[in-house]
Amino acid sequence: MSTLPNCPTCNSEYTYEDGNLLVCPECAYEWTPGSEGTEEEKVYKDANGNTLIDGDTVTVIKDLKVKGSSSVVKQGTKVKNIRLVDGDHDIECKIDGFGAMQLKTEFVKKV
C-alpha cells in the first residue's frame, strides 16, 4: 500500500487519487503530485501592461468616483508608495485630499 501525502491546505490524512490528481475529501482541494509548495506569486500589471511592485508611483488614467461621497479622483492624480494586496481592488494607498483608498490596477499607469 502506497502512502499518499497529507492535504497541503488542511493537512488531512484522508487524501485519495483521482486520475492524475490527488483530492482531499475534507476541503475538496485538488492538486497534482509534486506540486505542493510551488504556488506562483500573483503578478500585478497596470493598464499598459507594466509590472507593478510595492512602493511604486502610479497615475490615475480616468476620473474615478469615490464610493459614498460626491467627490472624484481626477485623471492624472499621482499616487505615491502603493501597496499591492489580494482582493477585488489590488492597490491600497493614500491620496492627498482623500486619505486611504483602494484602487484597481486597470485604472492606473506606472510613472
Find, among 97, 10, 21, 85, the residue nearest to 60 by Cα.
Answer: 97
Tell me the C-alpha to C-alpha distance, in Å, between residue 28 and each of 11, 18, 33. Answer: 12, 12, 15
For the entire predicted model, the pTM comes to 0.63
- Residue 100: helix, strand or coil by DSSP? strand
Ordered per-residue pLDDT tens for the chain, 111 residues: 468 888 888 888 899 998 888 999 998 888 887 765 555 578 899 999 999 999 999 999 999 999 888 999 999 999 999 999 988 999 999 999 899 999 999 999 999
